[in-house]
Structure 1
């Protein structure tokens, strides 16, 4: 359905409209911001005339959401019918959908998602509301990683333990037997759908093939016992299978009971403390909290209001892989001048920081937020102004050349490093004060390794090189990495940067040949080029995916950064005009965890922040960040989005308070200790550690909090 944005703007004069987040036959969803409160929102829009059934659905959704107030349920702020439009104003959830992120979740994180959804359902059920359409598309992530249940459009008020189904509503793949038969529905109906979702998260596929005809699919829901979920610990498998019982009375008595049973089963399978390791905030009813030994609700920091988005991913949780920024290296014409040390520095300059874009969500907002966000896995957090980094142990060595790039694994236990010595290395940093080399160096490139990134699921490493290629490595066992297939060829000059999309299915590379490329890596052993290269007037130093995976940012030697619409990665399109303002090479680009801000770093000795709520019309935020006295190689956001790290040829790294990104402030003194250019400063997934890499051949770790 086509809806004129002008009509929406006229209907909502108090809001600034942003990018389109989704559309369909019903209407569309837009990003927006309340002008006075500076609160980011998602705006659902449809025509009020001619589609009475859908209008009733919108009204029903608004009423249902209006009666619910829970940390794991999307918040509705307003419902309007004006100028022939129906509009639901709700919180923006930039962490994306579960559909988009499920490939990045490990089993414990998958169970944490199920616990969060169960808590949301328990809240709704105790207020007489059934959801009736629980599925991955209706489960999203807020900027701080909090799971949110959305789309109560087919919600139904019920009395007692059951409600009569008035016609079929829901999604066939997730419908309970009683729903298919248009019988009496109750809390167990939603638990059945949640069981299907959890089964799919844990195994990678649903219990019944959704590709078969609907009648055949429904027959299996009604009559066929689901196969035991392969590879799932028995205690957890039993809870999942119980939720898929044909008879509703054989399922858990309530969503709270399901949560308590699942919490205990996962604790039996993975040991105490597993929930805290997921990095996902959990707000559970008493039985589930007790099973996980979580503090009472009063001790749990409430989620920030209005931080979410009907858009997409990822979050500050370890579930979202954070690809480290890499020094930009490459452009051979830049290497032509100067001594070897200078040459290395310049090369690194062109290797941009892509990884911060993979950091999970943060709450950094392009405009000041009235309610600060929380860091999911770090517990009570201190204000950025209190940050006082302290060295952790001694610098660790092993490379025989400058360290040009780094990347943390999503669980924060492994660090990957890349060097001008033509190798990459993996390190066990479970104890960050005593890192240990894992296996042998990764060899195969015939020139310096400029950048690297780890896939969201932690199984694949990507590396790029001055040898004009990129490579993929199987690091499922990080002590025994193995090359995957042949090198990725196609670029005709130094490949300076690489990044994984949030779902891990697409790879982006940037090169000195003035192009960026996208690759389908669904099968990482057989990558395939997607569409035509993205052209730049200058060599591409850095690439980064937005948290929702719909936008690619590139930084280049022409002193600009660019944004690209890659919703269809085979047909990328430039968004608006290039971002201008830097006076020299743009070495690094990084998205904030909530996707609303872009950071850039340049050889002009500065970093900049940009408001990209509407990526087709980016705007510079405040003045450039000054303080470094030489090239700024990379920028990286903290997982909560409130702190920015920069690394420079002046041999230092710096931290900046960007809670108000229009007015950034330097935090403390520069971090010193390296004896040569610092190419990279990168936050660990939990935000407690900062890693810095230098041309002095060392890596240093710093305790942040």
Structure 2
């Protein structure tokens, strides 16, 4: 750009308008004439192309984009059955939001607590058995949780005790006492560490290998601990409580001798927080759900403590499960539809709503292969849904001799 020429053009035109009647000296006229010849005054624009610009070269041909878009569109949508594969009776199941009464093991055995009894179902052959019935002094059973090996199961009791059972030998291994002052409603494992949450607001790490099993205590909740979940890495623990609070605890901060300080104390929920689910495909991503006066699913970056998104579902959020095969999240709900909702992540667009329960869907558990989801509700029914099936293109043809998980069982007991 010729700045001298531009300045000349601007000052000349302004002077021409303002001083048309002013007689300029011969030396001034000579100077202006020389300047005009020097800067080529016949140009009509300050900036101009001498030649037409070249057509830009496309580094990636249009055919490539069209083929990519066609391949994306050609991916078939997964068929999601709107009805459960099987419905079983679950008489006398406790309708309590803060309890955790169902879990599915890595060895494909479902555990469900009904009042004082824990029942086991082997999904591979449909056999059912009773693991234990506790006496009224200790019961009812308030929580169950399988260890990662699928053989050992922890059972939380209303008496504040926690029992450890070998499901293969049908044998009580030990009873953990002295940690809590009231019922133990939430449990989760991290290797040999069993973490327990009680109505007293305490969270305790128990090393089940040693006699003095209490190795760390987390104090922060002012009311009952409703949900506990260790992250996949085992580095962080999420806890939700009836005090509407969500805490993120770091393993490195756990101490037996002092009150363990939380990493994040999150106060965004306006009702009890029970539903917790760590994302299987993104580190430090946690989903949490709030109770009846909150109704929101929130997503958290647990490294920074930031809330990434919040979705109002319109009803109580009782449980959350991530799909292991797709980027989807399943939520179970209470009043008024008592539905399961399948969401695409991160858009949180609804892909399906599954109805069938007539009371709030308090408990969800996922089969080891990630395809089948079991739900237990206050209507005293247990339902099995093909909510997380693989896309049809990858599925083998269905076999008539395997109609669903537990084909020979009609009742829970």
Would you call these one fold, judging by a TM-score over 0.5? Answer: yes
Counterparts of 1:489 and 1:575, CA distance in 2: 23
* Secondary structure of the corresponding residue to residue 567 of structure 1: helix
Shift of 1:625: 3.8
Partner of 2:362 in structure 1?
679
Shift of 1:549: 0.6
Counterparts of 1:405 and 1:644, CA distance in 2: 21
The answer to whether residue 163 in structure 2 is matched with residue 474 in structure 1 is no
Q: Aligned ranges for residues 31-430 of structure 1 at < 5 Å? A: 386-397=79-90, 399-402=91-94, 405-411=101-107, 413-419=108-114, 421-430=115-124
The answer to whether residue 355 in structure 2 is matched with residue 667 in structure 1 is no
* Secondary structure of the corresponding residue to residue 395 of structure 1: strand
> Per-residue displacement from partner, 1:477-496 (whole Å, max 9, x unpaired)?
1xx52212124332112211
Counterparts of 1:449 and 1:588, CA distance in 2: 20
Task: Specify whether residues 689 and 454 from structure 1 end up closer, same or farther in structure 2 by C-alpha distance, changes over 3 A only.
Answer: same
Partner of 1:596 in structure 2?
284
Partner of 1:549 in structure 2?
234
Whether the 8 Å contact between 1:510 and 1:516 is mirrored in structure 2 is: yes
Shift of 1:573: 4.5
Aligned with residue 696 of structure 1, among 368, 371, 379: 379
> Per-residue displacement from partner, 1:196-227 (whole Å, max 9, x unpaired)?
xxxxxxxxxxxxxxxxxxxxxxxxxxxxxxxx
Shift of 1:513: 0.8
Whether the 8 Å contact between 1:565 and 1:573 is mirrored in structure 2 is: no
Larger helix proportion of the pair: 1
Whether the 8 Å contact between 1:416 and 1:425 is mirrored in structure 2 is: yes
Counterparts of 1:599 and 1:593, CA distance in 2: 11
Q: TM-score under structure 2 normalisation?
A: 0.67
Counterparts of 2:87 and 2:318, CA distance in 1: 23
Whether the 8 Å contact between 1:605 and 1:626 is mirrored in structure 2 is: no
Whether the 8 Å contact between 1:396 and 1:698 is mirrored in structure 2 is: yes
> Per-residue displacement from partner, 1:285-323 (whole Å, max 9, x unpaired)?
xxxxxxxxxxxxxxxxxxxxxxxxxxxxxxxxxxxxxxx
Task: Specify whether residues 578 and 703 from structure 1 end up closer, same or farther in structure 2 by C-alpha distance, changes over 3 A only.
Answer: same
Structure 1 unaligned blocks of 5 or more: 1-371, 373-380
Q: Aligned ranges for residues 605-684 of structure 1 at < 5 Å? A: 605-612=294-301, 615-628=302-315, 631-640=316-325, 642-650=327-335, 652-660=338-346, 663-669=347-353, 671-684=354-367
Whether the 8 Å contact between 2:218 and 2:260 is mirrored in structure 1 is: no
Task: Specify whether residues 441 and 537 from structure 1 end up closer, same or farther in structure 2 by C-alpha distance, changes over 3 A only.
Answer: closer
Counterparts of 1:684 and 1:700, CA distance in 2: 13
Task: Specify whether residues 701 and 688 from structure 1 end up closer, same or farther in structure 2 by C-alpha distance, changes over 3 A only.
Answer: same
Whether the 8 Å contact between 2:254 and 2:260 is mirrored in structure 1 is: no
Q: Aligned ranges for residues 530-569 of structure 1 at < 5 Å? A: 530-567=215-252, 569=254
> Per-residue displacement from partner, 1:270-298 (whole Å, max 9, x unpaired)?
xxxxxxxxxxxxxxxxxxxxxxxxxxxxx
Q: Which of the two has higher C-alpha Rg?
A: 2
Counterparts of 2:147 and 2:165, CA distance in 1: 10
Partner of 1:451 in structure 2?
143
Shift of 1:408: 0.9
Task: Specify whether residues 632 and 688 from structure 1 end up closer, same or farther in structure 2 by C-alpha distance, changes over 3 A only.
Answer: same
> Per-residue displacement from partner, 1:615-662 (whole Å, max 9, x unpaired)?
34222122324143xx322222222462222222226232332431xx
Structure 2 unaligned blocks of 5 or more: 1-71, 390-413
Larger strand proportion of the pair: 2
Partner of 1:529 in structure 2?
214
Shift of 1:471: 1.6
Shift of 1:442: 4.0
Counterparts of 2:326 and 2:162, CA distance in 1: 30
Partner of 1:298 in structure 2?
none
Q: TM-score under structure 1 normalisation?
A: 0.40
Counterparts of 1:583 and 1:568, CA distance in 2: 27
Whether the 8 Å contact between 2:176 and 2:213 is mirrored in structure 1 is: no
Whether the 8 Å contact between 1:648 and 1:678 is mirrored in structure 2 is: yes
RMSD: 2.7
Counterparts of 1:497 and 1:511, CA distance in 2: 7
